[in-house]
Structure 1
Amino acid sequence: MVAFPVVDSHIHLIDPSRLAYRWLQNNSVLRRRHALLEYGQAQAGRAVAAIVAVEADADDADKEILYLLEQAENDSRIGAIVAHLPLEQGERLEETMASRATTGRVKGLRRLLQDEPAPGFCLQPGFIEGVRLAGRFDLTVDLCIRQHQLQDLIKLVDACPKTRFVLDHIAKPAIRDGALEPWRREFRDLAARPNIVCKLSGVATEADPIHWTPEQLRPYIDHAWESFGASRLLFGSDWPVCLMAVDWIAWVEILEAALAAFSDNEKRAFWGRNAIAAYKMDATLLETDEGDSLKTTMPG
């Protein structure tokens, strides 16, 4: 069991009775309610101090943000919401972005990129404008990509030095194929940029969902740790999407084993502090967190 307060930096709240999700139509695992009650059951009694609720690609993004804000009102553990916005609309998003920022709960934005054509989608002028605008509103930009988009992502991060970025799912490497390159090299290059942190999440689902082993995941976990370090890596479960390959408890246990040799201070940062810092959440969510400080190297 994790000995430190846990912040889950990446969960999705899905409720087909409230919202429509076209992408779930043929998904027998996910096309049912996965809300806070079910999330609590998935932890089997393990406490989570805070949660980052990430948009789940609902058909109506405006309805989804209202749903997420409603959930946050009813559960104080939701310390941050990452909302969908079509960032390619650039400066036209100013009014909407201002509205999101003033809720106090929306701390970040995400525009799914993983299925967009590469190269170039995230480098179009409008997209860069939208990302820079997010920085002006002090909102993070979550980046969900596949490994072949890493070179574009490096250019985007370089073009927006005043925006804080969060990389989801270690850029979805081709674990099923056992390929480490070019992901390993490009991932390290991205990590050299100071204005980005990374979620250690969504890893098992990039392997064979039935026949994967913890040993197959370990080189990718280790490289993420080596590249971003203890101060810029965040725990994330990617629940309930993780259920396509692994349950919440098993993923936590895999990470506990991978981090066994690290110091308590490093573990404390990974399991909770880094997410609090990255999303500028209320630090009192970790009020039971004691011990030496580990500075999170994320620009203010």
Structure 2
Amino acid sequence: MIIDTHLHLIDLSALRYPWLAGAPALNRDFPHEEYATQARRAGIEAALHMEVDVDQADIEAETSHVKAQSQQAGSLLRGAIVACRPEEGGFAAYLERQQADPFIKGFRRVLHVMPDELSDSALFRDNIKRLSGSGLTFDLVVLPHQIPRAIALADLAPDVQFVLDHCGVPDIKGRAEHPWREHMAEIARRPNVIGKISGVVAYADPSSWSVENLRPYVEHTIGSFGWDRVVWGSDWPVCTLGGGLATWVAATHALIAGASPEEKMKLLSGNARRMWKL
């Protein structure tokens, strides 16, 4: 069975998503019910919700909205990775509020579409350090050229558990492996960073990708981090741009066909269960 560590739910009637105006294929409701039907058929037994970069004024409303859905009968939701703004002075108070809620498992600040310098500020870095001892993780979503900045954050806060999303966002469509390959090997040397096998079908050619197109990127990520420091995520509904949930699950099984049963278990559920106490 699989634990999905990267599920996005979209509810246009409840929350505002400014970025969706530029993503027409995703600019509709993607509810839990639609996901759960597909997920159960694919062997997914539980999921963590990943923040969807809602309007800043809606950040805490998104968490409340997702938590309410987790309390409904038959929900697959077991926790949430919520949005945050470490570059702002109100982060300390925000962190204190979130720590009181066991449903919240970690944080993410979208960085790959933001100026490179955002994570360089002293305030941003001081606020990341505040996560030390909290038990809450921090997801890093960065472009390959930004991975050195992610490394800097990991080095500044060695007691914080970081999660590198989407295999480091490689340009699979362009078949670009450098400097991504070198940067991935370097960040994986930090024991407080784990790699997330997710998102890659959205970075491949949507009309023609195959398992072999994905293999160099997925295998290098797993090889760099090792089976004890990788987790799996669907990136639903973004994965619908590259074939959908069932297609990505099938591709994953093909990619790890040569692994041992224990290694497969670690990637697909065991590491996530341990790290987020699911």
Q: 1:127 and 1:246 mapped to 2: Cα distance?
A: 36
Partner of 1:87: 86
> 191, 215, 218: which one pairs with 2:212?
215
Is 1:88–1:129's contact at 8 Å kept on the other side of the alignment?
no
Shift of residue 278, structure 1, vs aligned partner: 2.4
Partner of 1:110: 108
Partner of 1:288: none
Specify the code of the residue in structure 1 equivalent to 2:27.
R
Partner of 1:182: 179
Partner of 1:236: 233
Matched, 1:54 2:13: no
3-state DSSP class of the match of 2:4? strand
Q: 2:262 and 2:208 mapped to 1: Cα distance?
A: 34
Q: 2:151 and 2:32 mapped to 1: Cα distance?
A: 35
> 27, 42, 62: which one pairs with 1:31?
27
1:249-288 equivalences in 2 (<5 Å): 249-281=246-278
Which blocks of at least 5 consecutive residues in structure 1 are unaligned?
282-300
Specify the code of the residue in structure 1 equivalent to 2:35.
Y
1:19-52 C-alpha deviation (Å, 9 max, x unpaired): 1111112433211111210102323623322101
Shift of residue 182, structure 1, vs aligned partner: 0.8
How many residue pairs align between the two structures? Answer: 275
Shift of residue 126, structure 1, vs aligned partner: 0.9
Partner of 2:66: 68
Q: 2:243 and 2:195 mapped to 1: Cα distance?
A: 20
3-state DSSP class of the match of 1:199? strand
Shift of residue 65, structure 1, vs aligned partner: 1.3
1:116–1:34 Cα change, 3 Å? same
Matched, 1:15 2:11: yes
Shift of residue 221, structure 1, vs aligned partner: 0.9
1:28–1:116 Cα change, 3 Å? closer
Q: 2:39 and 2:107 mapped to 1: Cα distance?
A: 26
Question: So what's the TM-score if we normalise by structure 1?
Answer: 0.88
3-state DSSP class of the match of 1:176? coil
Matched, 1:41 2:37: yes
3-state DSSP class of the match of 2:254? helix
> 134, 144, 147: which one pairs with 1:147?
144
> 2, 22, 26: which one pairs with 1:6?
2
Q: More deviation in 209-218 or 50-59?
A: 209-218
Is 1:19–1:64's contact at 8 Å kept on the other side of the alignment?
yes
Is 1:97–1:137's contact at 8 Å kept on the other side of the alignment?
no
3-state DSSP class of the match of 2:66? helix
1:120-146 C-alpha deviation (Å, 9 max, x unpaired): 321211111111112232210011111
Instruction: Kindly report the root-mean-square deviation, in angstroms, between the aligned alpha carbons of the 2 structures.
Output: 1.5
Is 2:36–2:76's contact at 8 Å kept on the other side of the alignment?
no
Shift of residue 115, structure 1, vs aligned partner: 1.2
Specify the code of the residue in structure 2 equivalent to 1:103.
D
1:128-207 equivalences in 2 (<5 Å): 128-207=125-204
3-state DSSP class of the match of 2:132? helix
Specify the code of the residue in structure 1 equivalent to 2:258.
A
Specify the code of the residue in structure 2 equivalent to 1:203.
V
Q: 1:129 and 1:9 mapped to 2: Cα distance?
A: 26
Question: So what's the TM-score if we normalise by structure 2?
Answer: 0.94
3-state DSSP class of the match of 2:88? helix
Q: 2:4 and 2:260 mapped to 1: Cα distance?
A: 20
